[in-house]
């Protein structure tokens, strides 16, 4: 009888889109700083290197607590963790809007970094539960767009919102608007995302709180997993150079005399095209392209693009095309790594800790990347040598991609 058949879960697109929207909303808080930097530099008198730390210190929580936060997400529950992260983002952004010093603003950015972690770490696990296994690669490609989409929206809409306020305090309005958006996204996740629903063959991660006796085992499995290390380090050398190049574009254009509005559009486009690589990676993986091909392509183009953009005395239009290629083709990397994390995690219930370890090293790259690039620019008296940072990162990424490929082949043979 039909009534006796076991019900099968169906794809919940509304819930999946809410998870994706939450990731984008969290990334808006990361990306809101670059368009505000010229105003903050004028209002607070910060230097170029201090601006680099303002860009990077939002990732301090991720650098220090990524793996432990991944474990906490596993214990607390995916949906509950995402809700808590969105509310923490809202609170930190409201506190930041009242800052009257760089120190206060830096402190709230660290809190925002913790909230960001609590939002993005549950994302892959939740999406894995909400879509059928055959669509995992594609949805991970979509998830990989949360950072470039959030950054580009912040770069485009940030100046518009700030323009509504006063010349020196418009950034406070931006902080408050994004706090309200985080609350709205929390409500959408609460209403539409189920606490625990998995497709057949997918291990369900409960949304019930409580300590697990397997915590130490999960930590040990993740830290002993060589693929987890290779993927995490790859994310570090990718994210460090990407956030440095895109984050400093408004300042580079401002120094070149480009109008603020034009600089915002140019930078937003440079961030947005990263989504093309992420989406393409999901489709290409579905069609059987090997992950190592996508990773190597991304790193080679990033290193080459940064060299042309900053290391050569090329025409301005060619330099900008190189920046677009740097970001667009580089987008192959995060989507591929997210897809690999689901497959190369040491165990099905270690996906959150594996993603947490990746996020920890991604944050490490983002903490040290912008200050390093700023330091090189200061020492060289310009941006002409900063491309060497990308070349070094990309060379390391190529070596790591080969290690990941070996692990992927072993897992394919075992499967």
Domains of the chain: 10-199+215-414 (1.20.1250.20)
- At 4 the pLDDT is 42
- At 309 the pLDDT is 85
- At 325 the pLDDT is 96
- At 48 the pLDDT is 66
**Token output for 87:** 């509310």
- At 349 the pLDDT is 76
Note down pLDDT in tens along the chain; length 415 residues.
444 433 334 456 788 899 999 999 999 998 888 788 778 777 766 666 667 677 667 777 677 767 777 777 777 888 999 999 999 999 999 999 888 877 788 888 888 988 998 998 888 888 888 887 777 777 877 887 888 888 788 878 888 888 887 666 788 999 999 999 999 999 999 998 886 554 444 445 544 444 456 677 888 888 899 999 999 999 999 999 998 888 778 777 777 777 767 877 888 888 889 989 988 998 899 888 999 999 999 999 999 999 998 877 778 888 889 999 999 999 999 989 988 988 898 887 787 788 888 988 988 888 888 888 888 888 888 777 888 899 999 999 999 999 999 999 988 887 6
């Amino acid at each position: 009888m039909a009534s006796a058949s076991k019900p099968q879960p169906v794809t919940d697109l509304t819930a999946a889109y809410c998870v994706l929207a939450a990731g984008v909303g969290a990334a808006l808080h990361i990306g809101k700083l670059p368009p505000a930097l010229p105003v903050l530099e004028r209002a607070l008198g910060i230097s170029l290197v201090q601006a680099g730390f303002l860009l990077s210190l939002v990732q301090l929580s991720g650098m220090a607590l990524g793996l432990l936060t991944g474990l906490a997400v596993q214990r607390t529950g995916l949906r509950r963790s995402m809700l808590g992260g969105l509310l923490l983002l809202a609170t930190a952004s409201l506190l930041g809007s009242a800052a009257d010093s760089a120190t206060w603003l830096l402190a709230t950015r660290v809190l925002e970094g913790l909230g960001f972690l609590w939002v993005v770490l549950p994302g892959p696990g939740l999406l894995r539960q909400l879509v059928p296994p055959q669509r995992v690669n594609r949805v991970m490609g979509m998830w990989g767009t949360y950072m470039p989409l959030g950054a580009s929206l912040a770069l485009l809409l940030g100046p518009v919102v700030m323009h509504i306020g006063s010349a020196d305090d418009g950034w406070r309005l931006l902080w408050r608007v994004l706090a309200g958006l985080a609350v709205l996204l929390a409500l959408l996740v609460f209403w539409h995302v189920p606490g625990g629903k998995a497709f057949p063959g997918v291990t369900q991660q409960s949304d019930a709180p409580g300590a697990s006796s397997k915590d130490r085992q999960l930590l040990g499995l993740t830290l002993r997993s060589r693929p987890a290390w290779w993927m995490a380090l790859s994310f570090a050398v990718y994210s460090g150079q990407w956030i440095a190049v895109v984050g400093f574009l408004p300042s580079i254009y401002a120094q070149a005399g480009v109008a603020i509005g034009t600089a915002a559009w140019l930078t937003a486009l440079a961030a947005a095209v990263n989504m093309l690589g992420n989406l393409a990676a999901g489709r290409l993986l579905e069609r059987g392209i090997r992950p190592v091909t996508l990773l190597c392509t991304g790193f080679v183009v990033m290193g080459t693009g940064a060299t042309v953009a900053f290391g050569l005395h090329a025409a301005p239009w060619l330099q900008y095309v190189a920046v677009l290629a740097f970001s667009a083709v580089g987008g192959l990397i995060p989507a591929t790594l997210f897809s690999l994390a689901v497959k190369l995690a040491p165990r099905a219930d270690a996906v959150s800790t594996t993603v947490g370890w990746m996020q920890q090293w991604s944050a490490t790259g983002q903490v040290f990347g912008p200050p390093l690039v700023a330091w090189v620019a200061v020492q060289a008296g310009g941006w002409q040598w900063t491309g060497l940072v990308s070349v070094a990162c990309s060379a390391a990424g190529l070596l790591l991609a080969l290690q990941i490929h070996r692990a992927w082949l072993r897992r394919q043979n075992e499967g």
